[in-house]
Amino acid sequence: MVTKCFQCGNPTVKKLVVAENWWGDTFTMVENVPAWICENCGEQYFDAEVVKELDKMKEKPPQAKRVMQVPVYVYGQPA
C-alpha cells in the first residue's frame, strides 16, 4: 500500500487503471488494474501482488479482450 507519493509527497488514492506495457516488441494494455494514484501529480504505484500478476500475464499472455491499432508518430516531423 502506497499512501504517499514518492515524487511530490501528496496523498494517493486507490483506483483501477489501464496499465500500458511493452512485452518484447508488442505494446499491450491491461484494463482494470488496481493502483495507487497521486491526487496531485498522477504518479501511479502498484502493490507487489499486482506486479507479480502482471509479470505472470507477460510470461503467459491471456486471450486478448480486443485488439486495437495504434498510430505511431515521429517527434519533430512535419505533418
How far is CA 17 from its chain centroid?
7
Q: Report pLDDT for 59.
A: 92
First to last CA, the chain: 44
The count of structural domains within the chain is: 1
CATH label of the domain that carries residue 35: 3.10.20.860
Q: Report pLDDT for 65.
A: 94
Query: Cα separation of 1 and 66, whole Å?
Result: 31
In the beta sheet, which residues pair with residue 14? 36
Mean per-residue pLDDT of the chain: 94
Rounded to two decimals, the pTM is 0.82
Task: Please say if the pLDDT value at position 79 is more than 80.
Answer: no
Query: Cα separation of 51 and 2, whole Å?
Result: 14
Over residues 4-26, the pLDDT tens digits come to 999 999 999 999 999 999 988 88
Domain hosting 60: range is 1-79
